Structure 1
Amino acid sequence: MSVPRTVAIIGKGRLGSVVLSTLAEAGFKTTVISRSPQNDEALPPNTDFKVVDYNSLDSLVAALSGQDVVVSTVNLLAVPQQKLIIDAAIKAGVERFIPSDFGSISTDLSAAHLLHNIQLVEIQNNLKSNEDLIEWTVFSIGAFTEFLVNFDIAFDWQNKSAEIWGDGGHRISTTSLLGTAKAIAAALKDPSVSKNRVLHVHELAVTQSQLLTLAQKFSPGTTWKIKTIDNPLEEMERLGKVAQQNPEPGNIYKFVRATLLSGRFQAFYEQVDNELLGLGLLTEDDLEAKFAAAFG
């Protein structure tokens, strides 16, 4: 595959919007593919917009014709729909597909059976089985840094409380939304090095204790309520059973959080492909600056 010129972004949520602006700034001709005509606001220059029916192969093929690459940023509930999008991409002559699979442990083989990974792995296997028809790249970026700082994962800012899993020292790979978008852009600038492979990247490796310490620093005079999960693996298994029996979003979220914090799976990447993509590492000062921006 030569360096692509046209890139279609499926979805325009938090990640999709950053990927769109980053790829446009990098010189790619971008197209937003969406089910809603309301998502055509605030598009970068030289960006097209197409409304599609995600359940229609013909609609998808028409929208993807002329595209070199598809970058999917759909949410977890829409992951299964990527099967039809891949079929359409192949039929439209798209050369590479980047699935919405930007998690921490979706490429850890020991975690393939987990409730929230099953459909992601199915898409991975679908792409591998079609390598003779379309190339693929999966980006394992750890947890999004913005989510660790701003959402109830490592601590509960609103209630000034935290559940510390074990000793809180389990390391977690993390990458910002912008860092993820830059990794995608770099991979497409040199597509031969990212063909049909998983790329592991992170900007930081953090611990729950480190994140809680920063949260406490930016809430001076506040007494935090701390609960320790003494047996992380047992608690993770319990939450997994609850999510399996009652797969409503709240239960699934608690289980996903447990798989990240328990230390059972490869949420920290010992080896990363940052150098391959020209992606630098952030410092503890950079992390503190993110807390200052959110809570200062």
Structure 2
Amino acid sequence: MVNIAVAGGRGQVSREVIDALVVANKHDITILSRTATKDVTPGVHWRVVDYNDASDLIRALKGVHTLLSFVQPLADPDQKSQKNLIDAAVSAGVKRFAPSEYGSSGTIDMPWWAGKEKIRKYLKEVNKDGKVLEYILFQPGLFLDYLAFPYKTAKHVAPLQTVFDYQNRRAIVVDGHEDAVMTLTTAADVAAVVAQAVDYDGEWPIIGGIRGNRVTFSQILEIGEKVRDGPFAVEKVQSQDLEAGDLKTSWALEARHQAVSENQAAGFLTAVPIGILLSSTKGAWDVSDELNQLFPDYEFVGIRDFLANVWDGRS
């Protein structure tokens, strides 16, 4: 049993992971929070911290073995909070750290994730003269749960629209890139594998790919037509239009992520599909499988069974 600290413990993904850790019942868990809470989850403690106060962070991290960060990159453009966490972790003697990742392996054409690159670079700098902080980048691709939109299939991760609209049997694909790869993993599988990684006694790999399902755009559409009992209206867009910031389609996303403010929403609802489509053509969503190899006995939820169960009997 070791002490685990979780930064950003109110978020959707963090709550999935916290639940998995609580069920495992192997570690003491402390949630670092900017504000007090009335949460009384057994086995979970809350501690109010100031991310701008180095001394406060160091005190909070004394005795902590593993620090998991879920600080939302969009809320901290300069990534000051995560950098302060990393510095405090080193000073407090924390052994392992996982920054706020939980998405694609690459961030190209996705400016909303520019903060991830800043933290990746910062972690390399911290260890440039010798490893002082073991860390891992948890990368599960896109949550498979999003293909169930508008239906909720995870305990905490909310439904979110993508370029694959199973509800309305339609999709957006980059012309000539129908075989672009997407990695799709359920939120429950991500949380379970992260919990196993926390238990792991060996050294973490820096890249922590979690590959639930590796499928092409064409395969996602093929599965969709089977589970939705009909053809999809597929709109093909041109790479050059996307590069110019133009999404020439008859429909666009409407539901915004909780991390996106109402003021940001209009721009994001266009930028996100453009970014996902472009980045997919450049391999950003073809996630590696380091943690699959580390935990070969873990059985991931398959995309066909998952979507068949979600959409069975729905009009």
Report the TM-score, using the length of structure 2 for normalisation.
Answer: 0.75
Residue of structure 2 in register with 1:34 after alignment: 33
Indicate yes or no: 2:155 matched with 1:146. no
Task: Pick the aligned partner of 1:24 from 22, 26, 31.
Answer: 22
More helix by percentage: 1
CA distance in structure 1 between the partners assigned to 2:270 and 2:307 by the alignment: 30
1:235-292 Cα offsets, whole Å, 9 max, x none, are 3312399xxxx9943344233322344x222422465440212333433443324533
Contact kept? 2:221, 2:232, Cα under 8 Å = no
- How far the C-alpha of 1:29 sits from its partner, in A, is 1.1
Residue of structure 1 in register with 2:102 after alignment: 102
- How far the C-alpha of 1:48 sits from its partner, in A, is 0.6
Indicate yes or no: 2:258 matched with 1:249. no
Unaligned runs of 5+ in 1: none
Indicate yes or no: 2:59 matched with 1:62. yes
1:56-88 Cα offsets, whole Å, 9 max, x none, are 223322322221111011223145121111112
- How far the C-alpha of 1:20 sits from its partner, in A, is 0.5
Contact kept? 1:215, 1:291, Cα under 8 Å = no
Partner SS for 1:17: helix
CA distance in structure 1 between the partners assigned to 2:314 and 2:95 by the alignment: 43
- How far the C-alpha of 1:202 sits from its partner, in A, is 0.8
1:80-119 Cα offsets, whole Å, 9 max, x none, are 121111112222221111001122133x7xx3x8523432
Partner SS for 2:102: coil
Residue of structure 2 in register with 1:234 after alignment: 240
Residue of structure 2 in register with 1:165 after alignment: 174
Q: Structure 2 counterpart of 1:236, which letter?
A: L
Unaligned runs of 5+ in 2: 150-159, 248-263
- Greater CA drift, 266-275 or 68-77: 266-275
CA distance in structure 2 between the partners assigned to 1:165 and 1:294 by the alignment: 30
- How far the C-alpha of 1:214 sits from its partner, in A, is 4.8
CA distance in structure 2 between the partners assigned to 1:285 and 1:220 by the alignment: 13
- Greater CA drift, 97-106 or 182-191: 182-191
- How far the C-alpha of 1:153 sits from its partner, in A, is 1.2
Task: Pick the aligned partner of 1:115 from 111, 121, 131.
Answer: 111
Q: Tell me the matched-pair count.
A: 278
- How far the C-alpha of 1:194 sits from its partner, in A, is 1.2
Matches within 5 A, 1:190-229: 190-195=200-205, 197-215=206-224, 225-229=233-237
Q: Structure 2 counterpart of 1:149, which letter?
A: A
Report the TM-score, using the length of structure 1 for normalisation.
Answer: 0.79
Identity of aligned residues (%): 24
Indicate yes or no: 2:289 matched with 1:259. no
